[in-house]
Amino acid sequence: MPALLALALSTVALLTPAPAGAEPPKPAAPPESAAPGPQSAPSVGADTLKPGRPAARPYLSEEEAPDTVKILSPPPASHSPLENADRAAFNTTRALKGSARWDLAANDVAEGASAILDTYACVLGTRIDAARVPAVVNLFERARLDIARGTKAPKLHYRRLRPFVGNDAPICVQRTQQLADSFSYPSGHATQGWAYALMMASLIPAKSGAILARGRVYGESRIVCGVHWLTDVAAGRTNGSAIVAALMGNAEFRADMDKARIELAKVVEGNGPPPVEATCARENAVLTAPALQF
């Protein structure tokens, strides 16, 4: 098992475009049977962070938005070393079902303003009520629309199937046709998670290292969950970085970052309610372990 995972990790660094003419597989996704577990909607962009309210407009215009199809390498070609590494990572991590790492992956499925802030509660040392940080919520909500646009284009371009399609291997969320029909490359959760991690690291630079480590684990949870390939997550980090880089060139985004930075600093320094001790112990165990070495 460790040898297979070592192969998966070693090959991620070798991500290169597939040979010219290589076609990503595009078969229709077969029906998926329901299984117990939390519901996981398709990735970012399906809803706003405040359901029931109109979505804010994105920061970037169509002209300003990065061409993420051009930026990202294609997903691995069929039977290539990278695809073999993807399958090794998927097969190996199925053994994590029932573990603390599996539980954290299931918890990392959650999206929305409160979920984003809860993700960093242990890192920040305090739980933050979304109602107390409206500038932060506004920042995340608007940026999420840019993230959704930057994720949708390569998903539709490559139409890669998720790793659980066509098999009965356990995943940490409920199997639904909607999830099976949503494409895998790049990971929307990993894109969003890494983009928010970069933003949070800029908002609270004193804790940037711990924030970015938690953002990495959030993305890796998609591999543990069994809903994304390892290279989907690697591409998600590249995707998130590209989108945040473009956002940093936008004056409105920078102004909202400044507002959120002041607001968040006051709340973090205000000695709010502590995070759940058991949750933080679980997270710390994952963060101190080598990446994907279970």
Q: What does R_g of the chain's alpha carbons equal in angstroms?
A: 18
Active-site hit among 149, 162, 189, 216: 189
Active-site hit among 222, 237, 256, 282: 222
Residue 5: which H helix or E strand, with range? helix 2-12
Is 261 catalytic? The answer is: no
Alpha helices in 112-133 (DSSP H): 113-119, 121-124
Dihedral of alpha carbons 211, 213, 214, 216, sign: positive
Q: What angle do CA 279, 98, 162 make, to 5 degrees?
A: 100
Is 232 catalytic? The answer is: yes
The one-letter code for the residue type at 265 is A
Helix (H, G, I), strand (E, B) or coil at 274: coil
Helices (H) and strands (E) in the chain, counts: 13, 0
Active-site hit among 162, 228, 237, 282: 228
- The CA distance from 56 to 37, in Å, is 31
Active-site hit among 108, 118, 232, 256: 232
Is 222 catalytic? The answer is: yes
Dihedral of alpha carbons 283, 218, 178, 90, sign: negative
Burial class (CB in 10 A: 0-12, 13-18, 19+), 132: middle
Is 157 catalytic? The answer is: no
What's the length of the chain? 294
The residues annotated as belonging to the active site are 189, 222, 228, 232
